[in-house]
Amino acid sequence: MTREISVELRNVDKVYDTAKVVDGVSFSIKKGEVLVLIGPSGCGKTTTLKMINQIIPHTAGNILVNGEDVTKLDPVELRRSIGYVIQYIGLLPHLTIEENINFVLQLTKRPKKEQQERALELIETVGLPADYLKRFPRALSGGQQQRVGVARALAADPAILLMDEPFGAVDPLTREQLQNELMRLQETIKKTIVFVTHDMQEAFKIGDRIGIMKEGKLVAMGSSMELVNSDDEFVRDFIGRGALFDVLDTISVTRVLRKDIPTIREGEHFDKESKMNGWDNILVLDERDAFLGYVSIENIDASGKISGDAVQRVADAFPAELSIKKAIEEMLYGGRTWLPVAGDDRVFKGIVTFDSCAGLLSKEGGS
Amino acid sequence: MESVVNFFQYFWDIRETVTAMAGRHAWMSLFGVLLGTFTAVPMGIFVSRNKRVSGYAIDLAGMLYTIPSLAVLGFFLPFLGLGWMPTIAALVIYSWLPILRNTVTGIVGVDASIKEAARGMGATSFQMLVRVELPLAMPVIMAAIRTVTVLTVGITTMGALVGAGGMGDLIFQGISMMDNNLILAGTIPVATMALLFDQLLGLLERRLKVSAGIT
Ligand SMILES: Nc1ncnc2c1ncn2[C@@H]1O[C@H](COP(=O)(O)OP(=O)(O)O)[C@@H](O)[C@H]1O
Ligand SMILES: [Mg+2]
């Protein structure tokens, strides 16, 4: 299935005097995708981002937003249709939080009532109490201000969001919280997001794809797993040795589940001949499909019933919402080679093994 | 002691004249400041778009500022004749430097990230000016207007020399007659007026700062 392309750069250059600060950058972003741009300071990330909404005009190449060349669009209209969040937040200190959130709606002269409703809705969306609407930015902490920054960018319901190190100026705990909130929000709003950061962990966590820049060039682009598996020396050096575990911490264990293992409901009959799929054990579930334990094939009699109390009870199932890294840790510390995995309704989903985790690495990105 | 009583007696006797003169003095001063503000602020906005031009403009206003007020009044006499007009013209010229300079400083000094955010959200340059730059520069501009108002109340006194009237009439009359009571009767209201305007504008300035989110 091919999704619509939302933003596309074709061979884009930015030249200041004689310095080429962005050099032949090309990429395209699908609708609803989160693309992270990362690279050393001064490599041209911000410049690349700002060329998309033409705050900085590009020198050469083409930039297309929803298929239209940005140079053919009215820059003011273009910017109003794209949400923009910057590192230094840039809340207007003379306006209340409500007026800040509604800034774009005011510029476009939307009705007052619509503005009020939108501000109320958005302040809740970003997890701030409604009575903050009447306050001024200086009364808010850095993290709260950045939440307002995000709310403000969403006000006109743009399909595209540009975020330039949005969480760069807040403390690590707040940053993690804001990242989590953004990801939760993204599940429902499904914006196309271009996100600039210099924090690799943040990139792994947030990005569907990550583009690595160096001296104005885009030197690598791919999913976090693709980058971890990259042969490119700069990419390997840049993301560092510890990166693998950071990446594995951002991928749900459901990505490496094995579902081919045979299962039996307690008390039911099992057909040994056709259903073993080469396994030696069968997992036992209760009547609601919650995991109970496992039983060896030898303990199933000819009629397909479990003999006696042969079911081996093991610890509770591993929660499906946790990461591969957590599953590997659980196996290492618990001396296990596999874990049953269940959703939060306790329904068994499959098992994870060391091999299935390793399979992700060898499968070239595994996407 | 006797001279103080004398002065008050005298002041009381001419109170109606003084009130009329003070009224005229006040409106000339305020009119001058108003006209100065409405010329210097737009000039400041205009030149703030360009660093070089704003440098020249401030230099030029600075040069005008150093010309003695008597010379400025004299300069305008042939064009504007006697009366209040050359006085107002001089006031306008003196108000230019502080207001122009602070308008430019105020606008140029607006935090770059704030302007970038506004531009990124699609503010036109006009919207940027009226919704971002001017409100944020307002306290700085107000400070200049306040300075200028105090200065102006003093300079208006010189207007008496070209027939503008105002408190200067009393003062210069007192000087030529070497009558201290007359000089004081002119000077005290001028000083009071300057202080009063300063306080009132100070109050306004603080309110503007609060509404501009700057404290
Ligand atoms: N207005 C400008 N004039 C000249 N050089 C600039 C200008 N803006 C940015 N640069 C240069 O362009 C390069 C890329 O900047 P930027 O995109 O901000 O990098 P990043 O966001 O990756 O840190 C830097 O070397 C910077 O010095
Ligand atoms: Mg940057």
- Whether A88 and A199 map to the same domain: the answer is yes
Give me the residues paired with residue A15 across strands: A20
Ligand 1 site, residue A21, Cβ cutoff 6 A: yes
- Whether A147 and A273 map to the same domain: the answer is no
Over range B10-38, report the average pLDDT: 90
**pLDDT at res. A365:** 44
Assign domain B2-212 one CATH number from 1.10.3720.10, 3.30.300.170, 3.40.50.300, 3.40.50.720. 1.10.3720.10
Q: Does B118 touch chain A (CB under 8 A)?
A: yes
Parse chain B into domains and list their residue ranges. 2-212
**pLDDT at res. A150:** 92
- Whether A94 and A222 map to the same domain: the answer is yes
Chain B residue numbers touching A78 (CB-CB < 8 A): 122
Ligand 1 site, residue A234, Cβ cutoff 6 A: no
Report residue B150 as tokens.
């105090």
**pLDDT at res. A367:** 43
Ligand 1 site, residue A63, Cβ cutoff 6 A: no
What domain range includes position A290? 254-365
- Whether A273 and A244 map to the same domain: the answer is no
Ligand nearest to the CA of A45: 1
Q: Does B111 touch chain A (CB under 8 A)?
A: yes
- Whether A108 and A153 map to the same domain: the answer is yes
- Whether A331 and A208 map to the same domain: the answer is no
pLDDT tens digits for range B173-213: 889 998 888 888 889 999 999 999 999 999 888 887 766 55
Ligand 1 site, residue A211, Cβ cutoff 6 A: no
What CA–CA distance (Å, rounded) separates A155 from A178? Answer: 18
Chain B residue numbers touching A74 (CB-CB < 8 A): none
Last residue of a domain, one of A220, A251, A282: A251
Ligand 1 site, residue A45, Cβ cutoff 6 A: yes
Provide φ and ψ at A349, rounded to 5°.
-115, -25
pLDDT greater than 80 at residue B159: yes
- Whether A96 and A141 map to the same domain: the answer is yes
CA distances from A40 to A9, A16, A150, A266, B133 (A): 21, 19, 25, 57, 33
Cα angle: A328, vertex A330, A332; to 5 degrees: 65
Element (DSSP H or E) covering residue A313: strand A312-313
The protein residue whose alpha carbon is closest to atom 10 in ligand 1 is A21
Per-residue pLDDT of chain A (367 residues; tens, 9 = 90+): 457 899 999 999 999 998 999 999 999 999 999 999 999 999 999 999 999 999 999 999 999 999 999 999 999 999 999 999 988 878 999 999 999 999 999 999 999 999 999 999 999 989 899 999 999 999 999 889 999 999 999 999 999 999 999 998 888 888 888 899 899 999 999 999 999 998 888 999 899 999 999 999 999 999 988 888 888 888 888 887 677 788 888 888 888 888 888 888 877 777 766 667 778 888 888 888 888 888 888 787 777 777 777 778 777 889 988 998 899 888 888 888 889 999 888 889 999 988 888 877 765 444 4
Chain B residue numbers touching A103 (CB-CB < 8 A): 118, 121, 123
**pLDDT at res. B212:** 59
- Whether A124 and A93 map to the same domain: the answer is yes
- Whether A82 and A126 map to the same domain: the answer is yes
Ligand 1 site, residue A16, Cβ cutoff 6 A: yes
Q: Does A53 touch chain B (CB under 8 A)?
A: yes
Q: Which of A20, A21, A86, A163 to mutate to test the pocket of ligand 1 (most atoms within 8 A of CB)?
A: A21
Return the percent helix, strand and coil in chain A, to nearest 5: 35, 25, 35
How far B138 CA sits from the closest chain A CA (Å)? 11
- Whether A225 and A315 map to the same domain: the answer is no
What total of structural domains would you count in chain A?
A: 2
Cα B136 to middle of ligand 2, angstroms? 26
- Whether A70 and A123 map to the same domain: the answer is yes
Inter-chain contact B113–A80, Cβ cutoff 8 Å? no
pLDDT greater than 90 at residue B103: yes
CA distances from A342 to A8, A246, A289, A339, A366 (A): 40, 23, 9, 10, 22
Element (DSSP H or E) covering residue A1: none
Last residue of a domain, one of A251, A275, A294: A251
- Whether A244 and A296 map to the same domain: the answer is no
Query: Position B124: which residue type?
Result: T
**Residue the block writes with tokens 């053919």:** A72
Looking from the CA of A20 toward its CB, the CA atoms found within 13 Å total 11
What CA–CA distance (Å, rounded) separates A96 from A132? Answer: 9
Question: Looking at residue A26, which CATH number applies to its domain?
Answer: 3.40.50.300
Provide the whole-model pTM. 0.79
Chain A residue numbers touching B135 (CB-CB < 8 A): 94
Burial code of A299-330, b = ≥16 C-beta within 10 A, e = fewer?
Answer: bbeeeeebeeeebeebeebbebebbbbbbbeb
Last residue of a domain, one of A207, A230, A251: A251
Inter-chain contact A152–B135, Cβ cutoff 8 Å? no
